[in-house]
Structure 1
């Protein structure tokens, strides 16, 4: 039987294209559930019916004329619905939320990548989320050249952001490093150039420590 925690715990996975977040999260969620924890696995943009419809607009390669301001407002609309409908209720119920991307993607992609003003992005994000911040952010670190090569070699269709220039993705990568330096107490870095199996083991070790799973198992026993 799944055990509720007294307080929820909000974990996000961040990283450039091709870092493997979408591969790692399902395995990580399954492992946490095997530890007896209640886990909500979700993603951005998306996570709700409304959010998934917005995701389709954002990722559609045909929407090449989309203005940067339109892009950020669509991401924020999806996020506002996501927080209200999924994330905040799960945390209030004492569950663990495991999310593929969150606000930091906005700062890296629309801030550093697109060149939009970070103070404005932070204000919009604050309004959309009510100030909800992750307890822990796992950053899957991979150089843009390798990450994009992985995306091109995968079976998945390249979305609108995947098709951006290498220069854009290098700016995003630099942005992530800057964000990590701003809040080192929240971020933990994993080398995503390793094998899928090793990345998963590294993530499990990080979460085991952050969630104090050893102590939890002792209480269960």
Structure 2
């Protein structure tokens, strides 16, 4: 693979979209080609699965069903977007990847991490991002940001504070423990900073890892 693959993770309202926009502007300034995608989504199958998974209404999906659906969308994402982008030498910027399943379904919903790993070993075909950036935010602050949007919340945004705290811990554990997070480089950035400071720190890590 010739390209570079960067994943941005974190609780909802951590600032992933704003950071992604900043990274894209930075890559434009460097005349570096890139593609931007999200999980679940970024394929016809993935977007349909996204609608089913993130519907704020009660869907009746069991947690293990959600793991399987996320993995199915992830595999389509890899085959249709990530692999082609990397082969052509592009930066591939992904809003969420496997760490989300470990944090939300594993830590948040209590699904065995071994089960999540087994399912995703098949779905991810062994591909590992060059860098995973975790935007770390206090769940209370994230909830305030979500409330300030005054829009419809997705299913995971509507879960209680204890769930959000478990998800946050899942991200921090992955960044600090390779046995949980798996291969690849993890960086944790304080998401309570200004968007400018977050972007500056992120670009510093991109340069540090020569991405």
* TM-score range normalised by the length of the shorter chain: over 0.9
Partner SS, residue 11 of structure 1:
strand
Contact 1:45–1:79 under 8 Å retained in 2: yes
Partner of 2:198: 199
What TM-score, normalized by structure 1, do the two folds share?
0.89
**1:49-103 CA-partner distances (Å, limit 9, x unpaired):** 2211111111111134221011111111110100000001111111111101000
1:132 aligns with 2:127: yes
Partner of 1:187: 186
Unaligned runs of 5+ in 2: none
1:100 to 89, 95, 98: 95
Contact 1:57–1:63 under 8 Å retained in 2: no
Distance of 1:153 and 1:131 partners within structure 2: 39
Q: How many residues align?
A: 207
Structure with larger Rg: 1
Contact 2:132–2:187 under 8 Å retained in 1: yes
Partner SS, residue 158 of structure 2:
coil
Contact 2:8–2:95 under 8 Å retained in 1: yes
Partner SS, residue 133 of structure 1:
coil
Partner of 1:37: 32
1:48 CA drift (Å):
1.4
Distance of 2:19 and 2:149 partners within structure 1: 15
1:156 CA drift (Å):
4.1
Contact 1:17–1:144 under 8 Å retained in 2: no
1:26 CA drift (Å):
1.9
Contact 1:45–1:51 under 8 Å retained in 2: yes
Further displaced range: 104-113 or 34-43: 34-43
What is the aligned-residue RMSD (CA, Å)? Answer: 1.5
Further displaced range: 12-21 or 198-207: 198-207
1:130 CA drift (Å):
0.4
Partner of 2:112: 117
Seen in structure 2, the aligned counterparts of structure 1 residues 35 and 126 have a Cα distance that, compared at 3 Å, is same
Further displaced range: 155-164 or 10-19: 155-164
What TM-score, normalized by structure 2, do the two folds share?
0.93
Partner of 1:46: 41
Distance of 2:58 and 2:94 partners within structure 1: 26
